[in-house]
Copies of this chain bind each other. A is one copy, B any other.
């Protein structure tokens, strides 16, 4: 058994790059990732999967074509699969992401913000 207790705040102190999700743990074929974000991300969607955002610190705006939502600390939003979205954080924001292994952060969109997959913290 290799599982250990993960403290989000402590892990986040080791991450100094925006929009670069890092894997903390796996749950079957899903991954828990943390990310620090600030500024505007790119419009993208994930054709094959929903994507869960939990705000650990700060505030996140998720723009979608039909509506936008604002998430504060302690809040969860699931972007349904196929729904175009663009995360925006006015100030630094810390996120917990839950999604299947192999999900690219920019989905179907190629961008300079496209991060390498499966980077662990």
Listed in ascending order, the chain A residues whose CB lies under 8 Å from chain B are 1, 3-9, 24-28, 30, 32, 49-52, 56, 64, 66-67, 69-72, 74-81, 83, 98-100
Assembly of this chain: how many copies? 2
Is there contact, CB below 8 Å, between B32 and A76?
A: yes
Q: Which B residue sits closest to A69, measured CB to CB?
A: B5
A66 to chain B, nearest CB (A): 6
Residue in B28, B52, B75, B83 whose beta carbon sits within 8 Å of that of A27 in the complex? B52
Is there contact, CB below 8 Å, between A98 and B100?
A: no
Q: Which B residue sits closest to A81, measured CB to CB?
A: B28
A53 to chain B, nearest CB (A): 10
Cα–Cα, bound, A66→B3 (Å): 12
